[in-house]
């Protein structure tokens, strides 16, 4: 009897420099990203929490928007984006998000990212 | 099915590009086909990237796939409507980030902003219009220099669209097989 084919599990590692490159591109847009935290680095997508001050207040800021891999940025993306107030509220409301942000890596900080991480750590500790 | 749709957009964009770079025909016609090639290429890139909620698919089609200047129209809608779907707002940013990398000179974005119009007070690829000096102009009257100023340098635009379409086609092919 023939053996069952060996199942290969492909883990796609997204290089940090590629994530930084994408965040830099977002930071150069007309309405720039001013803070970015890479969360869940083990995931198949690049999960980014981005602070975009020009975005309107959003009660669902915790919900990710997904993108397929692009031409220059060749990895799937899960983007949690909002202005700082909306993201802070999301971190306070959703403990899973707070934990992920607390453990995340700041890849861009123009004054918005580190305070968000610190808030997430406080929320995580208090939970 | 999604891949067939993407292939069709890329195929038509490439055919428009071929028509645009051909030496036959008038300058306005070549420029029009280059605009069309760019428009379809940007739509193909949008199809590649789009993975938003199914509830927003209709607006993706309406505000992007069915527009002449897809990037400009989507960006204008996002700026004008505070209740515009977030997924589409973020799509604008993702498209702009991709284009900024592919197209450092900004030629594709310049072409995207030259919407084919019927309004007689706006420059048109296809219909007579009134220029800034108040003269009645048929698009066929404009010289290569006029079109260069409006759309971008001809050789530069041809090369930028060619590179862009190759990149989108390359992405489509990579997407078919796990890498």
CB contact under 8 A, A81 and B90: yes
Per domain, the residue ranges of chain A are 16-126
**How many contacts does A have with B, using Cβ atoms within 8 A?**
69
pLDDT digits (tens, 9 = 90+) for A38-84: 999 999 999 999 999 999 999 999 999 999 999 999 999 999 999 99
End-to-end CA distance of chain A: 54
What does the alpha-carbon distance between residue B119 and residue B130 come to, in Å, rounded to a whole number? 10
| Residues A23-45, mean pLDDT to the nearest whole number | 96
pLDDT digits (tens, 9 = 90+) for B112-160: 999 877 788 889 999 999 988 899 999 999 999 999 999 999 999 999 9
What one-character DSSP code corresponds to residue B173?
A: H
What does the alpha-carbon distance between residue B123 and residue B111 come to, in Å, rounded to a whole number? 13
Structural domain count, chain B: 1
Distance from CA of A110 to the nearest CA of B (A): 19
A81: which chain B residues are within 8 Å (Cβ-Cβ)? 86, 90
Other beta carbons within 10 angstroms of residue A73's beta carbon come to: 21
- Give the range of the structural domain holding residue B21, as residue numbers without chain letter: 2-176
A30: which chain B residues are within 8 Å (Cβ-Cβ)? 96
pLDDT digits (tens, 9 = 90+) for B46-56: 999 999 999 99
Please check whether residue B122 touches A, CB under 8 A: no
**Which among A26, A55, A72 is the nearest to B102, CB-wise?**
A72
**Which among B51, B82, B102 is the nearest to A56, CB-wise?**
B82
**Which among B87, B89, B171 is the nearest to A70, CB-wise?**
B171
B171: which chain A residues are within 8 Å (Cβ-Cβ)? 69-71, 74
CB contact under 8 A, B168 and A67: no
- Give, in order, the Cα–Cα distances in Å from A90 to each of A86, A110, A114, B40: 6, 20, 16, 38
Residue B1 has a pLDDT of 55
> In chain B, whose CA is at the least distance from the CA of A64?
B87
Residue A7's region, left for phi above 0, alpha for psi from -120 to 50, else beta, is beta
Output the pTM of the full model. 0.90
Please check whether residue B113 touches A, CB under 8 A: no
3.30.2320.50, 3.30.460.10, 3.40.50.970, 3.30.420.40: CATH of A16-126: 3.30.460.10
**Which among A26, A58, A66 is the nearest to B97, CB-wise?**
A26
């Amino acid at each position: 009897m023939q053996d069952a084919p060996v199942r290969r599990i492909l883990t796609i590692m997204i290089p940090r420099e590629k994530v930084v490159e994408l965040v830099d591109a977002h930071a150069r847009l007309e309405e720039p990203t001013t803070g970015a935290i890479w969360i869940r680095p083990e995931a198949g997508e690049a999960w980014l929490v981005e602070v975009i001050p020009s975005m309107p207040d959003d009660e669902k800021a915790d919900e990710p928007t997904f993108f397929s891999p692009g031409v220059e940025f060749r990895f799937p993306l899960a983007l949690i984006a909002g202005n700082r107030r909306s993201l802070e509220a999301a971190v306070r409301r959703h403990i899973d998000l707070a934990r992920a942000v607390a453990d995340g890596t700041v890849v861009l900080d123009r004054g918005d990212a580190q305070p968000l991480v610190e808030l997430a750590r406080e929320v995580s500790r208090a939970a | 099915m999604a891949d067939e749709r993407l292939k069709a957009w890329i195929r038509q964009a490439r055919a428009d590009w071929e028509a645009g770079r051909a030496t036959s025909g008038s300058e306005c016609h070549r420029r029009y086909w280059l605009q069309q090639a760019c428009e379809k290429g940007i739509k193909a890139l949008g199809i590649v990237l789009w993975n938003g909620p199914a509830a927003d698919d209709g607006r993706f089609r309406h505000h992007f796939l069915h527009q002449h200047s897809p990037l400009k129209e989507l960006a204008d809608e996002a700026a004008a409507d505070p209740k515009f779907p977030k997924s589409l707002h973020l799509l604008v940013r993702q498209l702009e980030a991709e284009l900024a990398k592919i197209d450092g000179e900004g030629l594709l974005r310049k072409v995207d902003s030259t919407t084919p119009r019927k309004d007689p007070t706006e420059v048109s690829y296809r219909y007579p219009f009134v220029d800034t000096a108040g003269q009645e102009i048929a698009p066929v009257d404009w010289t290569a220099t006029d079109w260069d100023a409006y759309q971008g340098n001809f050789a530069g635009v041809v090369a930028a669209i060619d590179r862009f379409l190759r990149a989108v086609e390359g992405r489509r092919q990579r997407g078919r097989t796990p890498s």
